A and B are shown apart, each in its own frame.
Chain A
Amino acid sequence: MPTLAAMFSPRSFASLTALAGALVISFTGCKKEGSNANADEIVIGEVAAMTGGTATFGTSSHAGTQMAIDEINAAGGLLGKKLKLITEDDQSKQGEAGTVAKKLISREKIVALLGEVASGRSLEMAPICQKAGIPMISPASTNPKVTETGDFIFRVCFIDPFQGTVMAKFAMSRGWKKVAILTDTKQDYSVGLAQFFKEYFAKNGGTITGEQSYGSGDKDFKAQLTAIKAGAPDAIFASGYYNETGLIAAQARELGITAPLLGGDGWDSPSLVEVAGKAIEGSFFSNHFSNEDQSPKIQEFVKKFQAKHGKTPDAMAALGYDSAMILADAMKRAGTTEGKALRDAIAATKDFDGITGKITLDEKRNANKSAVVLTIKDGKFSFVESLAP
């Protein structure tokens, strides 16, 4: 028991003040948290990979999403309220996406969730949103399993059976009959895409000369590529993300493999060319949109994006923008942000005029759209052809 004098000693006084301070802070903290749910703001959550192995996906899609939210707010907001976007970074880590999605739902009281680009991470968030009754719109997860989770889960992009088929058709049209496959087994996206490519390609008379795999974060692919080279393929289907693909391209050329690489929308990042340099020239990948498209809507978007961020938007930015716009459109039609009504309004999206095409959500909550095939020429992604569903 301290004496009275001791209680007023400078040291105890300091700790008392600190305690009082902490109490004040925690009270204001509570107040602020409560206000999120019912203020004159609609809180929308976003989970994006702002750092880590697929960081350009997150930064791009976030830039697009934020741009859409800012535009809606500048035009007076929605339902008499302003939109507020709270973004959480999942560090490109499996396991982290689910955690931050839970945090957004329970702490920030979001009415809807936008995100993830990577399918593996969307698959973590989907059951959480489904259970909580919070509609989730993924901008760019193409693995079919994502929306199969439940009726609260949507996407504004095409799915891998289509994307894989597009690339298989493209390979056939170029007369490439022998293709080797290189998959990132740590990514649901990569595994799914490769599987759909293989199914279509093998069924239509193509030969798979070899199948190799690696894990995200690997740097050395010489072993797999040497094995692939032995099969002398006309092309290599590398279904992983841009970071590893850059290194794969560089090492393939070092080993004297001249066959072009083929891939999906996971290649869409400036990092691909930075890492691979000349090695990736003349390879092809499927994507959601091309910023070379001369339609006025796309060019206006490109101009606005450039003015704001000083660089041309990639497909992830366009999809991020579209996902936020579709959510806003549904809120307007529903007249409320209540989960079930909002879900039904999103599901009823029809012929929405997005940046990445006319978007209609089908009964499986997927967007039906055409894909574009791009090639890498002089370090830039240039348009080759467009393939309808």
Chain B
Amino acid sequence: MSQFIQQLLNGLFLGSIYALIALGYTMVYGVLRFINFAHGDVFMLGAFTGLYLNKLMGPILAALPWPVAILIVLVLSMAICAALGILIEWLAYRPLRDKPRLNVLITAIGVSLLIEYTGQLVFGATQQPFPAIIPKVNVGGLGGLTVTMTQVIVSVTAVALMIGLRFIVMKTKMGMAMRALSLNPTASSLMGVNNSVVISFTFGLGSALAAAGGILYASLYPSIEPFMGILPGLKAFVAAVLGGIGNIPGAALGGLIIGVTETLVAGYSDVLGIPSGYRDGVAFVILILILLFKPSGLLGKVEREKV
């Protein structure tokens, strides 16, 4: 039993990061109706920004207590990646705004490859160890269960960011504009919403979340490389579709479900008869099943194409 709970915890921690990345996918889809495939690469850039910030400000960070240090690294790289996200949108997607959606989708794949290979050129192709900003200690008092400080910080940060996002979308003017844009871009611009600003803001916000995800992921799995964003990015995409693409709580739920499912599959491979190496396949089997039986996702609304 304790093994099962341990596996469940492992899955939830992994899932909370998928959830963070999935939020970015879902937000951009909600506002612009297209999948930003470069999102996973912004996640990678977030991790590398964290690494370089840590190298740059090493002595200063070491002098500070670690919660302050991680907060500084997190906030700074979120800001840098938000700027990068806005830049990407401005350079690659804005010129295509009135073009068919397929053009933007293919451009997104191009942007993704561009970032990955530029990353390989700039950062080098080998894995680099990510510095342990969060002390490596186990949280006690849980019986036979082991939970590390890193895992606790990761999930607390993830939940805090999700609540923050919910607040921005539901309670602020900008959030209202985002929702208006998502409902009907033409109408919202007629009502005085500056669509360009809202779209830039959405990209900035999504990229900031991806960057946070990148740093949290790198803290959990401290070996980073330019292609680290591909698989988590794809899984987060599946999570977003699973929860109902465009739906923010859905993306969070989808992320947790993917994380838990793949952990359980890997952990109970001998019972299930599926080799644990197939854990990645599970996420995509879920994607296929969802598309077959409930294309709108768990929390998504059925949308009819207007003819």
Contact = CB atoms under 8 A, between A and B. Distances in A.
B279 A223 contact: yes
Interface string B197-237: 00000000000000000000100111101001001000000
B3 interface: yes
Contacts of B11: 223
Nearest to B5: A226
Interface string B237-263: 000000000000000000000000011
B276 A213 contact: yes
Contacts of B267: 223-224, 226-227
Interface string B144-179: 001010100000000000000000000000000000
Contacts of B264: 223
Contacts of B228: 219
Interface in B243-299: 262-270, 275-277, 279-280
Contact of A247 (B6, B223, B266): B223
B206 to A, nearest CB: 22
B134 to A, nearest CB: 12
Given A55-B125, A275-B129, A275-B223, A223 B136 contact: no
B182 interface: no
B221 A247 contact: yes
A51 B222 CA distance: 19
A91 B127 CA distance: 13
Contacts of A220: 10, 14, 220-221, 263
Nearest to B228: A219
B276 A224 contact: yes
Contact of A271 (B126, B150, B265, B275): B126
Given A56-B126, A243-B127, A275-B127, A214 B223 contact: no
State the main secondary structure of chain B at its contact with A: helix
Contact of A275 (B3, B7, B222): B222
Contact of B7 (A56, A223, A243, A277): A223
B125 A246 contact: no
B55 to A, nearest CB: 14
A212 B136 contact: no
A256 B3 contact: no
B129 A186 contact: no
Contacts, number: 101
A229 B145 CA distance: 12
A79 to B, nearest CB: 37
Contacts of A184: 277
Contact of A185 (B7, B14, B221, B277): B277
Contacts of B120: 51
A56 B126 CA distance: 8
Contact of B277 (A215, A227, A230): A215
Contacts of B266: 212, 214, 223-224
B189 interface: no
Nearest to A274: B129
Given A212-B276, A213-B269, A51 B3 contact: no
B179 to A, nearest CB: 35
Interface string B116-141: 00001000011101001000101000
Interface string B1-16: 0010011001100100
B276 A256 contact: no
B277 A256 contact: no
A118 to B, nearest CB: 15
Interface in A242-300: 243, 246-247, 250, 254-256, 271, 274-275, 277
Given A224-B266, A255-B146, A274-B129, A215 B3 contact: no
B10 A222 contact: yes
A184 B98 CA distance: 47
B221 A226 contact: no
Interface of B: 3, 6-7, 10-11, 14, 120, 125-127, 129, 132, 136, 138, 146, 148, 150, 217, 220-223, 225, 228, 231, 262-270, 275-277, 279-280
Interface of A: 50-53, 55-56, 91, 184-186, 210-215, 217-220, 222-224, 226-227, 229-230, 243, 246-247, 250, 254-256, 271, 274-275, 277
8 closest Cβ pairs, A-B complex: A51-B125, A223-B266, A219-B221, A223-B267, A185-B277, A222-B10, A55-B126, A223-B263
Given A214-B277, A215-B277, A271-B127, 7 more contacts: A91-B125, A186-B277, A222-B14, A223-B279, A224-B266, A246-B223, A256-B146
19 contacts: A53-B225, A55-B125, A210-B270, A212-B266, A214-B266, A214-B276, A214-B277, A214-B279, A219-B223, A223-B7, A223-B262, A223-B264, A223-B266, A223-B267, A224-B266, A226-B267, A247-B221, A247-B223, A275-B129
